[in-house]
Chain A
Amino acid sequence: MAEYLIKNGFVFDPVLGIRGDKADVAIKDGKIVETNAVKSPKVIDATGKTVMAGGVDVHSHVAGPKVNVGRNFRPEDKLFTYKPRNGIERMQGGFSVPTTIRTGYNYARMGYTTVMEAAMPPLYARHTHEEMRDTPILDQGAYPVFGNNWFVLEYLKNNELENTAAYIAWLLRATKGYAVKVVNPGGTEAWAWGLNCENIHDPVPYFDITPAQIVKGLIEANEYLGLPHSMHIHANNLGNPGNYTTTLDTFKLSEGIKPKSKFGRDQVMHHTHVQFHSYGGDSWANVDSRAKEIMDYVNSHDNITIDMGQVTLDETTTMTADGPFEHHLTELNHLKWANADVELETGSGVVPYVYSPDIKVCAIQWCIGLELALLAKDPMRVFMTTDHPNAGPFIRYPRIMKWLMSEESRKQQFDAFKYKDKVIDATNLAGIDRELDLYEIAQMTRAGPAKALGLAHMYGGLAPGLEGDVAVFDFNPNEPYAPDDIEKAFSNAEHLFKSGVQIINNHEIVSNGNKRTLWVNTKVNENPQVMRDVKEKFLRYYTVTLNNYEVSGHYLPNPYVIEVDATQ
């Protein structure tokens, strides 16, 4: 494998604690090495440029059934925006829901090398893996959803922690999944009857268990197993005025629980797209920002991490396993609505949405997302996402960087709002002058998410031994720049290396890389009861046989298995 030496760049790396100093980065055999370990490297002159590790996205909807519904039912999302095939690049289409090919290339262009699919319905795991297989360059993993799964509901109703854990281990193996995802716990099962669970004590129809029990139980099971990532939750009551109390109640379920994981993470709960969960008021007329209350809690509890779910003010496509929410949304905007309830497991919905700067609520949502990041005391625990494509397409990350790094750019956006004054009254953002630096950005987009995923030993930094994932951006932080220069530079990496392979050279994609699929293989003690329960449910209630359920290896042509031993 070729050796590379990236010389004289301004390096931003939270792992090594380098804050923009000039430094060299060496790559050999796919890994980062000491600069003296490379003999005859290809030298990349990064003089006057910014060097960072490859980006890590902790939460993005890029592969699987609901993503493909979003593609197939929105031809208008591709009209006039298609990119012809060119050299090694295959044709690429879609704005808010790009094809798998465009997904890989567009993340790479932003300097990202690892992207986690945030919600995988177990019964559709095979589909999710087929799409990840056809997504070039990126290392990926997918989170199977557990929060409305009948096995989980029944075990946790009787506080059967070990059985819950054994089932989680079995399902992660069967679906080749990476982490425990929870979406609107209990609410999506309720939606199978057209109902919902609007707070954490709202009982789940028939199953006689509350969202609070489900969440607490899954955190404990997750720590019982010591999985790389923590329980990853999208709480109840998403997107409703006044929902911040539900969010705080959900946070509190993690209190007193310590991480039991060998993978170096500090949190036991990752709460995703918190922007959608930080609303005050009791109607869309008086909705306001409660980012302060939310961040006060997050800042003072270090066993929690969150991501933003930043609204980008685009026309986009919302998609979530939160079935009742999507139905609620289509009732609001009257646009096409797809729904897919999945037997014994979960559900999902998809609805297009236009975040317009002329609509007060959209502008308030924009403020709230930025407030979460700007009020963060520890950027290692607050990550940049758009909950792609829910709050906006991931290709806007560089624009979000601009907003976070430049108060001037935020002022410009405020001035573009139709209801500027009302928006300012309902939010805190106008009063925040903080401007993040690239070191903090690197924490929020690299080191932080890598650590939270339990992957700090592979990603997120430039320390020797880590994966050779390095991005070089045509951006000089020490010279004056306009806000838009940030967006421009970080939208279009000059060089990108992924596992030591050069993917982008002089802004041009030169390789489709060597993508890997990460999954977690957990050893647990024999549990005959769980295996009996599994057999019984497949015989009586599933419509596929048990032997046709497990995802076989060849769907993961290049797997990376993380072994966990939970037998002690």
Chain B
Amino acid sequence: MTKTITDVICPFCGTLCDDLEVVVSDDGKQLLEVYNACAIGAEKFLHSQAKDRITRPRMRQEDGSWKEITYDEAIEYTAQMLANAKKPLMYGWSSTNCEAQALGSELGEIVGAVMDNTATVCHGTSLIAVQDIGIPSCTLGEVKNRADRIVFWGCNPAHAHPRHMSRYSIFPRGFFTGKGHKGRKVIVVDPRPTDTANVADVHLQVEQGRDYELLNAFRVAFKGEKLPDVVAGIPKEKIYEAAETLKSGRFAIIFFGMGVTQSLGKNHNIDAAIAVTRDLNEYTKAAIMPMRGHYNVTGSGQVWGWLFGFPFAVDLSRGYARYNPGETTANDLLRRDEVDAVFVLGSDPGAHFPFSSVKKIYDRPSVAIDPHETPTTEVCKVHVPVAFVGVEVGGCAYRMDNVPIETRKVVEPPEGMMTDEEFLSRVLARVKEIKGV
């Protein structure tokens, strides 16, 4: 006998699909099948069942080998490390639930940590741009029900957000968009003819790193002013034409991703894209949305927003919150040797930070809380495996459009494994003891 659980939320990307169906054994201990998920999401659920999964904390030994330790020992090491550090970095917070993020925030407050999340290497520069110019946006349902002009700028949902195009952006038939794909014009701006570009009506193969110039040109084109013959490798005729396509729509949406947030100009590229969206609202309705990566990176920005007032890179070391990307961001802190201990939860900087930063983690007292074995666990002194959020434990997560959805527990974690929340609350209690607060 098996049970089918419906309306399951996928804890992979910011698309946060909530229509998955998961088949589990009737004792709820085994996850057997996953339906409606993309290849990546399905793999994430199934990996929780891996036979070779690490289920107990480990500490790196002098000779480089791992020694299994108890959760109590891991909690003690973590609490002492955080309590003794002058300025610990507490990084990650994206592949976990908001409940754990809130607990981690209280912990960070008490130890005077710098809290940073994966936005710092993803959409942090978008957040900077939003602080400079704002962001006219909407929920994904507005796109589904109204949008007839879709732009993907420097993002490739076909690979990074596999169900985005079918659920929200290109193909769905909504209230005012009964024709689905036929009723929409799709423009892709990318230095590569990506698989997303292949389903678009127009692909502008922008010269890599010249997005700001091209966005700047769109604003000139909207006003019907003169353009140079070629901008960022795109002939002006194509720019005028694309600008006209956007102005002539009823509802235009621009989705953007790492292609602009990580290329030369960074926050300025987003700033200009948002300016383009503002401009379009003079002629029609337009919105813009970052294609958030981790399924709950948005949530950590929300939790820190209401607790501290900043969405990432929050420096609590002086007893109050400060924020300035470039100073209080994880990679700048590591490269400049501004932190003396590293705590990682719900992210893999070992794989996704430039190596110069990874080396600094290796050189410091460090703890990685992660269900997986990763390059981060490989360079940290202690690895604490935990239950998978969204699979073995529920909790709140925020979609890329900031819509909060409660993820579900579908199977039991392996015997005796802690969740992020359990581990953090134990560390918090121990730190309070040590600090006498």
Contact = CB atoms under 8 A, between A and B. Distances in A.
A93 B320 contact: yes
Contacts of A68: 302, 305-306
Contacts of B319: 84-85, 91
B309 A341 contact: no
B138 interface: yes
A91 B406 contact: no
A101 B305 CA distance: 11
B304 to A, nearest CB: 8
B141 A99 contact: no
B306 A99 contact: yes
B136 A339 contact: yes
B32 interface: no
B34 to A, nearest CB: 16
Query: Size range of the interface on B?
Result: 35 or more
B18, B306, B396: residue with the most chain A Cβ atoms closer than 10 Å: B306
Given A126-B404, A194-B284, A541-B144, A82 B138 contact: no
A548 B402 contact: no
Interface in B231-283: 250-251, 278, 281
Interface stretch (B37-45, B80-88, B127-135, B180-188): B127-135
B135 A341 contact: no
Interface in A118-146: 123-124, 126-127, 130-131, 134
Interface in A331-371: 335-344, 347, 350-351
Given A72-B305, A127-B302, A338 B406 contact: no
Interface residues of A, number: 60
Contact of B405 (A134, A341, A541, A544): A544
B142 interface: yes
Contacts of B9: 548
Interface stretch (A73-81, A489-497, A559-567): A73-81
A134 B136 CA distance: 27
Nearest to B323: A75
A124 B137 CA distance: 15
A94 B303 CA distance: 15
B403 A547 contact: no
A194 B18 CA distance: 30
Given A68-B302, A343-B144, A337 B278 contact: yes
Interface in B293-335: 301-303, 305-311, 316, 318-324
A430 B357 CA distance: 64
Contacts of A541: 141, 144-145, 174-175
B170 to A, nearest CB: 14
A75 B131 contact: yes
B306 A134 contact: yes
Interface string A82-99: 111100001101100101
A327 B321 contact: no
Nearest to A330: B134
Nearest to B324: A75
B139 A351 contact: no
Nearest to A88: B437
A78 B281 contact: no
**Residue with the highest number of chain B CB atoms closer than 10 Å, among A85, A101, A150:** A85
B112 to A, nearest CB: 10
B130 A338 contact: yes
Contacts of A127: 302, 398, 402, 404
Contacts of B405: 126, 544, 548
Contact of A544 (B175, B250, B311, B403): B403
Given A93-B308, A124-B402, A194-B284, A72 B127 contact: yes
A286 interface: no
B174 A327 contact: no
Contacts of B168: 543
A528 to B, nearest CB: 22
Contacts of B135: 73, 338-339
A268 to B, nearest CB: 32
A481 interface: no
10 contacts: A71-B306, A123-B403, A124-B403, A126-B404, A130-B396, A339-B134, A339-B136, A340-B402, A343-B145, A543-B140
Given A130-B306, A192-B285, 10 more contacts: A72-B127, A82-B322, A130-B404, A192-B142, A330-B134, A338-B134, A343-B140, A343-B141, A347-B138, A547-B7
Interface of A: 63, 65, 67-68, 71-75, 77-78, 82-85, 90-91, 93-94, 97, 99-101, 123-124, 126-127, 130-131, 134, 150, 192-194, 206, 327, 330, 335-344, 347, 350-351, 540-545, 547-548, 552, 555
The 10 A-B pairs of least Cβ separation, nearest first, read A343-B141, A336-B134, A84-B319, A82-B320, A341-B138, A194-B285, A339-B136, A126-B404, A547-B7, A337-B134
Interface of B: 6-7, 9, 18-19, 98, 102, 106, 109, 127, 130-142, 144-146, 167-168, 174-176, 250-251, 278, 281, 284-285, 287, 301-303, 305-311, 316, 318-324, 396, 398, 402-406
